[in-house]
Chains A and B, each alone.
Chain A
């Protein structure tokens, strides 16, 4: 039994035929979006409908979208679908057919809608990006104080003050402590999600090394993977 994927029929159960159908559907999408004239216009209209579906799905899943109001939510849906359509068309040559075309295209709408909702939800909220001051009692970084206190929270505070750069501290406090969405902070700092995630990765490595050195984390193994 097949199910309709916005005009393209694929099977709903895993089978060799599924892959054949998916590949044919992808070829069909790419071909129609690549030619000139009425065929392409129709394909773009169908693609935009797909993007609307995915953007609406994403906005509908986000609790923070509820407070934005119906009109603002619909604006975001339309804007995200427009942006996603442009993204798909501009990246059509990079589609390798390793997934269904629709799955590949949906992710652009979900990304744009998610980012827009997060930014809209925080649009009137202040984000403090002051550098985190040094702890008032720096002697707590002494080994004997660690041994006596065994206070992980304090060790983390000291580690953040001593092991992180000011930029790493500001980003870590905003995203990991104050829970500012990474896309919101990226917009305020004029950067992007990927750059901030890399900053957090480096900060976490430094902090973990500091905590390991003071006996708060076990020695790292080469095969360590988060549970």
Chain B
């Protein structure tokens, strides 16, 4: 690897994150409204695949948290 690449501990965490169980960005988006609305009615944990996806896809995570905030739900 060239010199400009700096492998910080955070970068190593991102590179080695386990993204199983698999969930695609498209499927995450499909489920997003149902799961977020569900959070407004119960304290059930997020489905594993959805939670793992949010942990490893910052864009989907940001949008999920934004939707949750807009409808009064909280992602823990």
Contact = CB atoms under 8 A, between A and B. Distances in A.
Interface of A: 12, 14, 18, 54, 57-58, 61-62, 98-100, 102-104, 106-107, 110-111, 114-115, 118, 128, 130, 132-133, 135, 152-153, 156-157, 160-161, 172-173, 176-178, 181-183, 193-194, 197-198, 200-201, 204-205, 207-208, 211, 217, 220, 224-226
Given A103-B71, A198-B24, A110 B40 contact: no
Contacts of A98: 33-34, 37
Contact residues on B (Cβ < 8 Å of other chain), bracket: 35 or more
A193 B40 CA distance: 28
Given A54-B70, A118-B59, A99 B18 contact: no
Interface string B1-41: 11011110001101111111110111001001110110011
B20 A114 contact: no
B59 A177 contact: no
Contact of A153 (B12, B52, B55): B12
Contact of B58 (A18, A99, A182): A182
A193 B56 CA distance: 13
B63 A182 contact: no
Interface string B60-73: 10110011011110
Given A182-B59, A193-B59, A226-B55, A103 B66 contact: no
A225 B34 CA distance: 22
Given A61-B69, A114-B66, A194 B15 contact: no
